[in-house]
Structure 1
Amino acid sequence: MTLSDSLEGYDVIGDVHGCGATLAVLLEKLGYHQRDGVYRHPRRKVIFVGDLIDRGPRIRLAVRIARSMVEAGEAFIVMGNHEYNALAYCRRDPRKGQGWLRDHTPRHNRVIKETLEQYADHPAEWEDTLDWFMTMPLFLERDGIRVVHACWDQAMIDEFRQRYPDGRMDEAFLQVSAQYGTRDYAIMDRLTRGGQLRLPDDIEIHSGDGFTRRSFRTHFWARDPRIYGDVVFQPDNLPDDLELRELTPEEIASLSYYGPEEPPLFIGHYWCEGIPALPTLNIACVDYSAVKFGRLVAYRWSGERELDANHFRWVSVPEMPQARPLPWEIEFD
């Protein structure tokens, strides 16, 4: 497919994580202006890669901006793992009586804490927002580009699309996908959380965000990976000399692969740092840790088959005390 004469291209925006005011600044910088309560551009549209919620100071604002654009046809969005997690956290599991699809553990409580607090006085709005999350597709293919939150695994996408041609899950899929070990869990996990490998010998990573992890995130564009260092893709370094550890045949078989001949692909999720750069000429990650006082990043795509790092645009997030959203930041003119 090619872009229409009236559409100049797409601006693919990374994980917002509640940085609603910064999102507004980035949109203005990209030439979008608010009209009738919606940010619009005369010749371009936005694609959000998911993870609008959690952690940041202005979550409701971030959701309101993105949702109003999507519903007005000025933007598209794919589901992130944080939207999925919120759905599972707030939906009952019929197998557990009064339990939840996503257990309310201290770790899970901590992740969603800011979101629930900022919606606490707006319960109807939160329920409506959860319903909107259910309408988000897990992936997009538009005008020659692909977008997914974490990993484009073609076999899993084809399998999902056979059941859900529009890319949107239903309540039945949500229920089963929350059950570890099911095929639906594997599909949701791979598309929204990406590949992960377990660390050996009970080794742990104590990451900068305060979590302890026993696995590491992997990328999916190494043609012939041999060692951990060929596929690790996260800001936290592997401990000791683990980057030199050889991958087992089973670990190699578990990895997804996206080749250089495939269409341009945009992802978020991976907490990149520093100046935005391209891992390959057909893949761009637009998550640059905005809520950790990094950068809220967009890639300005205008039809090119080979991506160009000069097309990244961003707004740096200043480090300042977290603040509740003010009424004027929530209500549009």
Structure 2
Amino acid sequence: MNMTGGIDGYDLVGDVHGCGATLGALLEKLGYHLAGGVYRHPRRKVIFLGDLIDRGPRIRLAVSIARRMVESGEAFMVMGNHEINALAYYQRCPPGAGCEWLREHTPRHNRVIRETLEQYRDHPAEWDDTLAWFMEIPLLLERDGLRVVHACWDAPLIERFRAAYPEGRIDAAFLRESAYSGSFAFRVLERLTRGVHLSLPEGIAIHSGDGFTRRTFRAHFWARDPQTYGDVIFQPDNLPGALELRRLSDDERALLPYYGPEQCPLFLGHYWCEGVPALPAPNIACLDYSAVKFGRLVAYRWDGETTLSADKFVWLRVPQDERARPRPGGIDLDS
């Protein structure tokens, strides 16, 4: 395949969540080198899958690395739900929406964004500029025979969205419209950056490893004819009891889009996978392997193949002991 710009391929990088030093080290492992403050490769480009911010120890560094690469033409990026969350956290609701902020300042939401705000506390102008940059990032990407979205590729919804936003970028009006739960903007942002969530039966909840209690579970969208919850669950937290055997209702099945094996390669983040990276389908790769939870920061080296291979994953572990974590050679982390 002849790729745009004559490059050899793309290196797709999963959710960084503030693991900025590990990101630099991973890029160096992939053969990128700092030149003029930007990581560059002579024959390849990076695609970031979103969720640069929140939770991790070097959020500003993660944003700086990715932004400099994107603005220098060395990388592309799609927005994750955490970039959307940050924008919504600072956007007041329109009149009549029944809320004060698009993302209400609840204890739970405050906790998620706390590390980001703390690390930008002494750099308010930089944070404002970062929020403005987030608005320039598209929700999805199709390029040289691959597709990228943070959580879910819903073709009919994307077709309608791109009819109004051909570049895949939202604007301030679209963000404000998302305050209304039944609106088109709300559905687009929920589906593309958060995926499909199915409700658990009344009275049942999942107590996740991250300390949150959830009454929904994340479902994938590449099962041809799913029949049970177990056919579609895609998250590290198991369902309570025997719920994996519970039959999907017709209404639940109707919520699930379908991405078939005949479609082009699709790359996702978002789903907090664990263990050794593996492919959930021959043409689908999830690259979120819980880096900020002491998992792995994962990339996939794509060279134009239509059938993906687990041999193309490249990763670095993120050990709990900070002294044992990978450090980039080209960045002085102590300056």
Q: How does 1:170-319 map to 2 (within 5 A)?
A: 170-319=171-320
Amino acid at match of 1:329: L
Partner of 1:143: 144
Indicate if the aligned counterparts of 2:152 and 2:194 stay in contact, CA closer than 8 A: yes
**Which one-letter code corresponds to 1:153 in the other structure?**
D
Q: Does structure 1 retain, via aligned residues, the 8 Å contact 2:94–2:179?
A: no
Question: The residue matched to 2:79 in structure 1 has which SS?
Answer: coil
- 2:333 corresponds in structure 1 to 329
Q: Secondary structure at the match of 2:3?
A: coil
Cα distance, 1:330 vs structure 2: 8.8
Q: CA deviation at 1:256?
A: 1.2
Amino acid at match of 1:70: V
Structure 2 distance, partners of 1:12, 1:140, is 12
Paired amino acid for 1:77: M
Superposition deviation, residue 149 in structure 1:
0.1
Partners of 2:77 and 2:137 within 8 A in 1:
yes
Aligned partners of 1:176 and 1:184 also within 8 Å: yes
The verdict on how the C-alpha distance between 1:294 and 1:250 changes in structure 2, with shifts beyond 3 A counting, is same
Query: Per the alignment, in what secondary structure is the counterpart of residue 216 of structure 1?
Result: strand
Q: Which amino acid aligns with 2:207?
A: H
Please name the residue that 1:54 is paired with. Answer: 54
Q: Within 5 A, what are the aligned runs for 1:58-77?
A: 58-77=58-77
Compute the TM-score of the two structures, normalised by the length of structure 2: 0.95
Aligned residue for 1:53, secondary structure, equals: coil
Identity of aligned residues (%): 68
Deviations 1:116-160 (A, max 9, x none): 000000000000000000001000000000000000000110010
1:247-277, Cα deviation, whole Å (9 max, x unpaired): 0000001111100000000000000000000
Deviation, structure 1 residue 328? 4.3
Separation in 1 of the partners of 2:49 and 2:22? Answer: 16
- Aligned residue type for 2:333: E
Amino acid of the structure 2 residue aligned with 1:10: Y
Distance in structure 2 (CA, Å) of the matches to 1:98 and 1:254: 27
Residues 252/330 of structure 1: CA separation in 2 closer, same or farther (3 Å cut): farther
Change (3 A) 1:159 1:122: same
Quote the RMSD (CA, aligned, Å).
1.8
Cα displacement (A) at 1:98: 9.3
* Contact 1:60-1:330 at 8 Å conserved across structures: no
Contact 1:265 1:282 in 2 (8 A): yes
* Count of aligned residue pairs for this structure pair: 328
Alignment correspondent of 2:81? 81
User: Secondary structure of the equivalent of 1:68?
Assistant: helix
* Structure 2 unaligned blocks of 5 or more: 326-330
Query: What is the TM-score of this pair, normalised by structure 1?
Result: 0.95
Q: C-alpha displacement at 1:91, in angstroms?
A: 1.4
Please identify, of 146-155 and 92-101, the stretch whose mean Cα deviation from structure 2 is larger. Answer: 92-101
Give the corresponding residue for 1:10.
10
Gaps of 5+ in 1: none
Amino acid at match of 1:247: L
Contact 2:229 2:243 (8 Å CA) reproduced: yes
Distance in structure 1 (CA, Å) of the matches to 2:144 and 2:5 = 12
Report deviation, 1:178.
2.8
CA separation in 1, counterparts of 2:46 and 2:334?
20
Structure 1 residue 5 displacement after superposition: 7.1
Structure 1: which 4+ aligned runs deviate by more than 4 Å?
A: none
1:38 paired residue number: 38
* Cα deviation digits, residues 42-70 of structure 1 (max 9, x gap): 00000000000000000000000000000
